[in-house]
Amino acid sequence: MYLDPLFVQLPEAIDREKYVIATYYCAAGRNVQIYKLASALAVEQTTGTWTSVPEETPAIRERFLGRVIGVYETPSYQIEVPPEVDERNFIIRIAFPVDNFGPQFAMLLTTVIGNISSSGKVKLIDLEWPTRMLKEFKGPKFGISGVRKLLGVYDRPLLNNMIKPCTGLDPATTAKLAYEAAVGGVDIIKDDELISDAPHCPLVERVKAVMASIKRADEEKGEKTIYCFNITDRTEKLRENAYRVIEAGGNGLMVNYFTIGFDAVRMLAEDPNINVPILAHPDFIGAVYESPWSGMSASLIGSKLPRIAGLDMTITLSPYGKFPVMLDTFLSCGYHSTAPLMHIKPVFVMPGGGTTQGHVEDLIHKFGNDFIVAAGGAIHGHPMGAVAGAKAFRQAIDLVVAGGHLDPDGYNYPELASALKSWGVYKSQKSGIFNLKG
């Protein structure tokens, strides 16, 4: 009986401290018995299989069975389904017992979007964590406030640069490009996601060469720079790579977080010997969130889970450049990176993927000062060189923070003027949901 009170309960009837609540989008045919389908999803991911088995006792079902706590149709047909409608859309909420997986990511994700990821149009939108479970996760060591303290920068957005070309460079050339970006005013520089401990650019050699350049640039500009070295590797080498970077003088790390896994990220973030910020690269997650019908939402896979796992800065694809990301998706990722989440620190969102100097005003309008501009080509591909590209971003940031507006014809800054004339000034609707003054 799929309306058994054990299967389907009101949300007020469950003990929230015993369950992780998963919210799904689901679509099915016009004649679907939706409570039967929702119950099947809950049972499939907890105690059940396609038929009864002897050891599935009432006691096991009471403790370990998933509960359907909400089914909502959109649009909400109440009288009849119109004859032209062949497919109906639902939001389904299922409560999964924490005892089924404990405070870890691997079994949590196996439970909430495991087998049912192959069930057709079912997409995991969000997860709500009980307090007792979230307390088990330490979250980021640094977050927004900690990264700002390391840099000594409190009153403006930060500027990041990705070394370009993505791969193929030796340590000396990487160090040269890092120096140019840093001396031009970049706060945080990162390896590309495509380079780690490669034969043509060994990790420790790269750290030593780059950090010597960073030190020289910092002395010249009178500011600090963090360089995030990509340590992505086989699981058993991750901690070793992190230690090697730090021992060689590195002051930042980067991981391709989805390909190494959230529990591996957590291992690094919670290690007391790893005392530098960790930057998150989101490669691969498009395979998980891009489908409107299946997978997981971008804000969950790209912001909320990396934050809980302990990453301090998360690159977020933006609607400005080369990737097809909607504005609402972009803003949702920012919200999940910065909104209060118990003891889990807010983390920097880093809009990237084609960001230019002409996007700075719109970004500040949307996010205020607590974000990082993530720029690659707009620095290294600046018509006047990489130093000028970095300076142009800093000029744009300082101008907008001071209340000015971007205009390619209105400045005495040749670097900024050149960038704006090359790539334009982005104009958008003034939504400003993060900057409440907007």
Residue 188, CA distances (Å) to 47, 94, 123, 262 in order: 47, 41, 35, 23
Catalytic one of 141, 164, 190, 336: 164
pLDDT for res 428: 65
Residue found under tokens 């640069």: 161
Q: Where in the chain is the domain with CATH 3.20.20.110?
A: 143-423
Q: Does the active-site annotation cover 380?
A: no
Q: How far is CA 397 from the centre of its chain?
A: 23
In the chain, list all ranges with CATH 3.30.70.150. Answer: 11-134
pTM: 0.93
Residue pair 397/185 in contact (Cβ under 8 Å)? The answer is: no
Is 281 a known active-site residue? Answer: yes
Backbone phi, psi, residue 170, to 5°: -90, 170
pLDDT reported for residue 43: 87
Q: What was the pLDDT predicted at 126?
A: 98
Q: Minimal CA–CA distance to 90: which of 63, 106, 68, 70? A: 70
pLDDT of residue 132: 95
**Using only C-alpha atoms, what is the Rg of the chain?**
24
* Catalytic option among 123, 281, 304, 380: 281
- Write down the CATH superfamily of domain 11-134: RuBisCO large subunit, N-terminal domain (3.30.70.150)
Give exposure, 248-265, as e/b (b: 16+ Cβ within 10 Å): bebbbbbbbbbebbbebb
Q: Say what the pLDDT of residue 432 is.
A: 40
pLDDT for 51: 63
Listed as ranges, residues in the chain with pLDDT below 70 are 1-3, 49-52, 410, 428-438
Does the domain spanning 143-423 belong to CATH 3.40.50.300? no
CA torsion 383-389-394-395 (nearest 10°) is -10
95 vs 121: CA distance, rounded Å: 19
Which pLDDT value is given to residue 412?
A: 84
Please tell me the predicted confidence (pLDDT) of residue 46. 84
Residues of the chain with pLDDT > 70: what percent?
95
